[in-house]
Structures are given as structure tokens and as C-alpha cells.
């Protein structure tokens, strides 16, 4: 009998994976968010990761449900729920624990549970497996088995999609590892990479984004140094990148559910073991401070141009955590806004990609393109959406009162007066 796959969590990771598997398997997409399930049942994906036509084409093999009873006839469960951090930057495993409990209640002999959520090494077997055993009454590696295959979804990226990103795989026994690898190999065109253990797979995922976080922190610190020297950081990076082994990265805000979160999972485990990961924590501190740095630079520009700071009006272009994507999770644009608000600055945000705004944000929002009126004291280009590339210097100048101020966080515009 061919396996029936249940994917737990219909977000940025789970939905594209469910659609991909539905080309060859019977799949049920489960989520506790009733509104999300109804949306998907109607053929709409508000994350914009899966086009409506792809959802429609998958209807024969893919169903959606928020009822735990509907997942009981599955043989393979793939967990793709978020793994956030709390206010103290400690791992919050609540979604993972609750989803493990849900799966455990549906488990049958010989079923396989595969985790894709980013965690520190050991979470699958030390935290999730005991919950599966307790909820099911079954014994790990005797009655049921596990695997870990870290997600590599890049929100908003239409080139590196789930099927053409190489997949790391692992299993709780050599036999299961081969089965997990074969399962993913059946849909991943880029191929798979089977590792020796679940812990190795977990570790490989958590260091992917940690490495990137550290590298970006270096570039951000260099940008701050070069700003003091009145040197164009972008030009410096372009020059350095002419050497074949230079890693070309640009300075900017580091948000999202991956780079700004995952390193804390690794540092938490390291500190639990008695090791102080100084470089990783210092990098996190630098990147978390970029929003305040941009806000302070804005205040300095206002003062330099002899504009009143209190009650000034600043237009912020972009709010999502990255370009050409509606995802606002852990966006660091909010840090710019919060720090400007402390000086009495009124922030107006325009982001053509964001349709649903958080309820508690204390600033104005624009749903349409700003009008050509001299109503702002400064503009901050925070996220480099494609839509902003058509904004000419003349158009941007028309939006600003008196002397023109544009702070280009991503060094993306030729119309800047200040940039990282």
C-alpha cells in the first residue's frame, strides 16, 4: 500500500511541501488555524508561496483539515510548525510539543514521524519522541520511527523552491533513514543528502542561518565604521567582491523567522552545556541593534537639515522582513519605528506586499501609493521591494518638505542622501 502523508502546519514550509508531495502521494494538510484551512480549501494562499492554479491542480490528491480525527489514516507525518523564541530569546517549543501530542494520538504501529522545524540538536529525540510515546502508548524504534529533514524554504523566492533545493535527510534507524531519504528523493529534483543521525541533521540546519547571521553582522559593523569614515559601503563591497573568495553580502536589517531566530536555539543549547558562544551572541547584538542605528541616523539627518524632530513625519517604505514577500514575522523595521517614536516622530508605513497589519502597531499605514505632496520630513527605504525601484528621485523629492532626506537601509537606490 502506498503511504499517505499528513503534513502538520500549513505555513510557508508546510503548504509548498504538501503541494509537492501531492503530485505522487495522497496528502492531507493539517493546521489548527481554522481560517487558514478555509482559505486553502477555497484555493487561496495568502502567503503567496503557492499560486492558485497550483492549489487547484493538487485538489485530487491534497485535502486540508483542522480536525485531528482526519489524520488518523496517515502513515507518514511531517511536522512543519514554527519554532519561535520567547521575550528572553529562549526557544519556545510549545508549537512543536503540541503538534507532537496531536500526532501521537493518531500514531499506529510502523508509522513514521518526520520533523522539519528548526531546532537545536537533540530536540527530536529528547523532547518530541517522549511526547509521541506518551500520547500513543507506542515504543520508539520498535512500534514507530522518526526522521528529521530540515526545511530550506526561502519565503518570496520563486527560483529556489522546495523541489529544487537539495534536502538533508536522516532517520532513527539505518533502514528508516533510507526510507526517509527515498521519500524525499521521489519529489526533490535537486536530490538529497543522507546523514548518519537525526542530531547531525538538526545541527546542520541550525548552523546554516547562524553562519549567515554572523557574516551579516560583520558587514553591518563594517558599514557603521565606513559611515564614520564617510566611505560608500556598497562601493567598498563591490570592490572587495572582485576577489573570487570574498563572500558578497550587503548590510541591512536581519529579521524573519530564520536568521534572526535560529542562532538563539544553538546558543541556548551551548550555554546549557556550559559553553559561552561569544561570537554568535555578539553578532545577534549587532544585528538586533541595526533598527536603532537607522533611527538615530534619521534623527541626526533631521537635526543637520534644521528640521524639527518632535512631530516630524517620516515615510517608511517597506515593512515585511525581506523584499518581495508579505511575511512580517520578526521584521526589524518595527525597531526603526519604535525608536523614532521615542523622539516624537510620527511614522507612516507603505508596503504594497503587506495586506494584514498587526493590531497593536502604533503607527499609521498606507494601503495605496503615497500621493505627490510635500508632507514628509524624511523617507526611509527599509525594504527593497521591486515596486520601489520605479520611484525616481524626482518623485521621492516631491514627497518631502524642504530639504530632501532619504535614508537607504539596503543601499538600493541611486537617490539616497544617506545609506548603510
pLDDT in 10s for each residue of the chain, 420 residues: 588 999 999 999 999 999 999 999 999 999 999 999 999 999 999 888 888 898 988 988 999 999 999 999 999 999 999 999 998 999 999 999 999 999 999 999 999 999 999 999 999 999 999 999 999 999 999 999 999 999 987 777 677 788 999 999 999 999 999 999 999 999 999 999 999 999 999 999 999 999 999 999 999 999 999 988 988 888 999 999 999 999 999 888 998 778 889 999 999 999 999 999 999 999 999 999 999 999 999 999 999 999 999 999 999 999 988 888 888 888 999 999 999 999 999 998 888 888 766 544 555 665 566 766 778 999 999 998 988 888 888 888 899 988 899 998 876 554 445 555
CA distance 418 to 290: 15
| Confidence at residue 369, expressed as pLDDT on a 0 to 100 scale | 64
Which grid coordinates belong to 208? 546554516
Q: Per the CATH hierarchy, to which homologous superfamily does domain 4-205 belong?
A: NAD(P)-binding Rossmann-like Domain (3.40.50.720)
| Confidence at residue 415, expressed as pLDDT on a 0 to 100 scale | 47
| Confidence at residue 365, expressed as pLDDT on a 0 to 100 scale | 62
**Backbone phi and psi for residue 22, each to the nearest 5 degrees, phi listed first:** -65, -10
| Confidence at residue 25, expressed as pLDDT on a 0 to 100 scale | 95
Q: Where are the beta strands (DSSP E) in 318-419?
A: 346-350, 364-366, 378-381, 406-408, 418-419
CA distance 97 to 80: 12
| Confidence at residue 358, expressed as pLDDT on a 0 to 100 scale | 57
| Confidence at residue 419, expressed as pLDDT on a 0 to 100 scale | 52
Q: Per the CATH hierarchy, to which homologous superfamily does domain 289-419 belong?
A: NAD(P)-binding Rossmann-like Domain (3.40.50.720)
Q: In CATH terms, are 4-205 and 289-419 the same topology?
A: yes
Find, among 141, 145, 9, 165, the residue nearest to 76 by Cα: 145
3-state DSSP assignment of residue 223: helix
Q: Is residue 258 flagged as an active site residue? A: yes
CA distance 264 to 53: 38
199 in Cβ contact with 122 (< 8 Å): yes
Catalytic residue among 146, 258, 325, 347: 258
Give domain limits for the chain.
Answer: 4-205, 289-419
Amino acid at each position: 500500500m502506498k503511504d499517505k502523508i499528513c503534513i502538520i502546519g500549513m505555513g510557508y514550509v508546510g503548504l509548498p511541501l504538501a503541494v509537492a508531495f501531492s503530485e505522487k502521494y495522497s496528502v492531507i494538510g493539517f493546521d489548527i488555524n481554522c481560517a487558514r484551512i478555509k482559505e486553502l480549501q477555497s484555493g487561496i494562499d495568502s502567503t503567496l508561496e503557492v499560486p492558485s492554479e497550483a492549489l487547484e491542480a493538487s485538489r485530487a490528491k491534497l485535502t486540508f483539515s483542522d480536525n485531528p480525527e482526519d489524520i488518523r489514516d496517515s502513515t507518514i507525518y511531517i511536522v512543519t510548525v514554527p519554532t519561535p523564541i520567547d521575550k528572553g530569546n529562549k526557544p519556545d517549543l510549545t508549537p512543536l510539543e503540541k503538534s507532537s501530542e496531536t500526532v501521537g494520538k493518531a500514531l499506529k504501529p510502523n508509522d513514521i514521524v518526520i520533523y522539519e522545524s528548526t531546532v537545536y540538536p537533540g530536540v527530536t529525540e529528547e523532547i518530541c519522541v517522549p511526547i509521541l510515546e506518551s500520547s500513543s502508548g507506542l515504543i520508539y524504534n520498535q512500534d514507530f520511527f522518526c526522521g528529521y529533514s530540515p526545511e530550506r524554504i526561502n519565503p518570496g523566492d520563486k527560483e529556489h523552491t522546495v523541489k529544487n533545493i537539495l534536502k538533508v535527510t536522516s532517520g532513527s534507524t539505518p533502514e528508516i533513514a533510507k526510507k526517509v531519504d527515498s521519500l524525499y528523493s521521489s519529489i526533490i529534483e535537486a536530490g538529497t543528502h543522507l546523514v548518519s543521525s537525526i542530531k547531525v541533521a538538526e545541527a546542520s540546519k541550525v548552523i546554516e542561518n547562524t553562519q549567515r547571521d554572523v557574516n551579516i553582522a560583520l558587514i553591518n559593523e563594517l558599514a557603521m565604521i565606513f559611515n564614520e569614515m564617510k566611505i560608500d559601503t556598497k562601493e567598498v563591497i563591490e570592490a572587495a567582491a572582485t576577489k573570487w573568495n570574498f563572500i558578497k553580502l550587503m548590510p541591512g536589517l536581519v529579521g524573519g523567522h530564520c536568521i534572526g531566530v535560529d542562532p538563539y536555539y544553538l546558543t541556548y543549547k551551548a550555554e546549557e552545556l556550559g559553553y559561552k558562544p561569544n561570537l554568535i551572541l555578539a553578532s545577534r547584538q549587532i544585528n538586533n541593534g541595526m533598527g536603532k542605528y537607522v533611527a538615530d541616523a534619521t534623527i541626526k539627518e533631521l537635526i543637520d537639515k534644521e528640521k524639527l524632530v518632535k512631530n516630524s513625519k517620516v515615510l517608511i517604505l517597506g515593512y515585511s522582513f525581506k523584499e518581495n514577500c508579505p511575511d512580517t514575522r520578526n521584521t526589524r523595521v518595527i525597531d526603526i519605528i519604535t525608536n523614532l517614536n521615542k523622539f516624537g516622530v510620527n511614522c507612516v508605513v507603505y508596503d504594497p506586499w503587506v495586506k494584514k497589519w498587526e493590531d497593536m502597531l502604533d503607527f499609521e499605514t498606507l494601503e495605496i501609493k503615497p500621493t505627490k505632496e510635500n508632507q514628509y520630513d524624511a523617507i526611509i527605504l527599509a525594504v527593497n521591494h521591486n515596486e520601489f525601484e520605479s520611484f525616481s528621485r524626482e518623485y521621492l523629492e516631491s514627497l518631502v518638505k524642504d530639504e530632501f532626506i532619504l535614508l537607504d537601509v539596503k543601499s538600493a537606490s541611486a537617490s539616497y542622501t544617506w545609506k548603510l
